[in-house]
Amino acid sequence: MGETLLLGQTLAFTGDPFAEGPDAARHDPYGAVLIRDGKIAATGTADTLRRAYPGAWITDHGDALILPGFIDAHAHYPQTAIIASWGKRLIDWLNSYTFPEEMRFADPAYAAKTAKRYFDLTLAHGTTTMASYCTIHPDSVDAFFAEAKARNLRVLAGKTCMDRDTAPEGLRDSAQSAYDDSKALLNRWHGQGRLSYVITPRFSPTSTPAQLSALGALWAEHPDCLMQTHLSEQSDEIAWVKSLYPDARDYLDTYEAHGLLGPNAVFGHAIHLEPREIVRLSETGAALIHCPTSNSFIGSGLFDMTLAQVVRVGLASDTGGGSSFSMLRTMAAAYEIAQLRGNALHPAQLLWLATTGSAKALNLQDKIGTLAPGMEADLITLNLASTPAIAQRKARAKDIWEAVFPTIMMGDDRAVTQTYIAGQPLK
């Protein structure tokens, strides 16, 4: 047998709520999800599935909401210990907090300890997949993937590459070593179980053109891999890129000129884009990742969510530039930033961004991010009345969207009552 039937409220996207509106979702107040061999085998109403699978082991989650696990499409696990560090904007924040912390990952034991803590925290917050930057140290990648493998997680990560003297001594590789180390790590981890290697130049200001070209060459040898980096996060950063790459048409061009643009490219932030950059991103099929708590915390700016009409957009915490591990808090920040631009995102759009949208941005939509047969059973259950403040608001709700919105705006890890990894409950 080996079948488990989860009962609860279910919410499944049948389309893209940015294109089709909130009707692109199906809500079952008495829903069910059948799990077999670590995957979703069926979804439907509780009545129908109970009748169809009488031998299944039943786990009843009451009126908790069963959702796909959250997908954090851009994070830096090595910044776990410096999250919420005070008072700096991007470049000073990197120099004051981030780089000194990333130097500590020269010690593999510290990397292993941080990877454990990072997964404990993210799983408790209902995040089941993340695309993480590591540090320049290959051991930091091994630590991340080894821990993810032990927990059977679907994760993506890569060695962060930096070879310019803009990065501090002790956190620099070279064009050749970045190529060699990334290639060795890719061969060791990519496609092993549910692990994916991501080619990861940190951003143009900390790489020489030679390094960007070397990583472009590696990507050309492994075009099925994702390539992740940062793009147009802060105005000072953009001016810096202009001074370091005087011949580039714009920031995106510094990547494109070195073979780092295409349908498997994933760009974090992308707040201050030029019209030409938007056209090229759309033409080439690259994805953008919105990191709203980071963009307000570091003071970067207001991402334009209407870009979702022309490019794939995923959602991310950007731990530790972002100020929370919670994708609920991240959705709340996305809502607030869109409000500041005159656009009220619907709860369907927010939940879609944190699940299917992020899966699509990472080209994993056939594996995770949707409550549908054939998908891997990485699932969470949300208590929609997890605190007194949320409960009293939810008590007034007239439909599922009103019921879930207070949890999106005010919820945190207390709302996540269970997390399933490939069908196995963590608690």
Task: Select from Zn ion, ligand GUN, none the partner in contact with residue 233, using the beta carbon and a kind-dependent cut-off of 5 to 8 Å.
Answer: ligand GUN
Touching ligand GUN, residues 95-134 (CB under 6 A) = 98
Binding mask 316-345 for Zn ion (x = CB under 5 A): --x---------------------------
CB of 272 to ligand GUN, least distance (A): 13
According to CB under 6 A, which one of 28, 142, 233, 250 is a site residue for ligand GUN?
Answer: 233
Q: Is 76 in the site for ligand GUN (CB under 6 A)?
A: yes
CA distance 206 to 212: 10
Sign of CA dihedral 242, 245, 246, 252: negative
Q: Among residues 41 and 333, whose Cβ is nearest to Zn ion?
A: 333
Residue ranges in 225-370 assigned as alpha helix (H): 235-244, 251-256, 275-284, 292-297, 327-340, 347-352, 358-361
321 scored as a contact of ligand GUN (CB under 6 A): yes
CA distance 350 to 308: 12
CB-neighbour burial class of residue 367 (10 A; exposed 0-12, middle 13-18, buried 19+): middle
Residue 98: name its binding partner from ligand GUN, Zn ion, none (Cβ under 5 to 8 Å by kind): ligand GUN
Distance CA(323)–CA(365), nearest Å, equals 27
In terms of CB distance, is 320 or 369 closer to Zn ion?
Answer: 320
Positions 263 through 282 that interact with Zn ion (CB under 5 A):
268
Only one of the segments 90-98, 146-154, 331-339, 352-360 lies at the binding site for ligand GUN (rule: CB under 6 A); that segment is: 90-98
Whether the ω angle into residue 216 lies within 30 degrees of 0, i.e. cis, is no
Strand partners, 5: 34, 58
Between 202 and 272, whose beta carbon lies closer to ligand GUN?
Answer: 202
Asked if residue 172 binds ligand GUN (CB under 6 A), the reply is: no
Question: Which residues in 300-319 contact Zn ion (CB under 5 A)?
Answer: 318
Whole-number minimum distance, CB 76 to Zn ion, in Å? 6
Task: Report the number of secondary-structure helices (H) and strands (E) in the chain.
Answer: 17, 16
Check residue 163 for interaction with ligand GUN (CB under 6 A). Answer: no
Q: Are 139 and 79 in contact (CB under 8 A)?
A: no
| By CB under 6 A, residue 230 contacts ligand GUN | yes
DSSP of 371-388, one letter per residue?
-STTSB--EEEE-TT-SH
- Minimal distance in Å, beta carbon 76 to ligand GUN? 5
Taking Cα atoms as reference points, which of 251, 257, 253 lies closest to residue 269? 251
Phi, psi of 62 (to 5 degrees): 60, -130
Q: Can you tell me the distance from the alpha carbon of 403 to that of 93, in angstroms, rounded to the nearest whole number?
A: 38
d(CA 79, CA 65): 31
| Closest CB 300 distance from ligand GUN, rounded Å | 8
How many residues at the interface with ligand GUN, by CB under 6 A?
11
Nearer to ligand GUN, 58 or 302 (CB): 302
28, 66 in Cβ contact below 8 A?
no
- Residue 305: which of ligand GUN, Zn ion, none does it interact with, CB under 5 to 8 A by kind? none
Interaction between residue 145 and ligand GUN (CB under 6 A): no
Torsion, CA 18, CA 20, CA 21, CA 27, rounded to 10:
-110
Beta-bridged to residue 132, according to DSSP, are: 75, 157
Residue 72 as a binder of ligand GUN (CB under 6 A): the answer is: no
Residue closer to ligand GUN by CB (options 94, 354) is: 94
The residue number whose beta carbon is nearest to ligand GUN equals 321
Choosing among ligand GUN, Zn ion, none, which partner's interface includes residue 290 (Cβ < 5 to 8 Å by kind)?
Answer: none
Which residues 192-211 are close enough to bind ligand GUN by CB under 6 A? 202-203
Nearer to ligand GUN, 293 or 383 (CB): 293
Sheet-wide strand order for 379-382? 39-45, 25-36, 3-13, 57-68, 379-382, 416-421, 424-425
List residues binding Zn ion (CB under 5 A): 268, 318
List residues binding ligand GUN (CB under 6 A): 76, 90, 94, 98, 202-203, 230, 233, 294, 318, 321
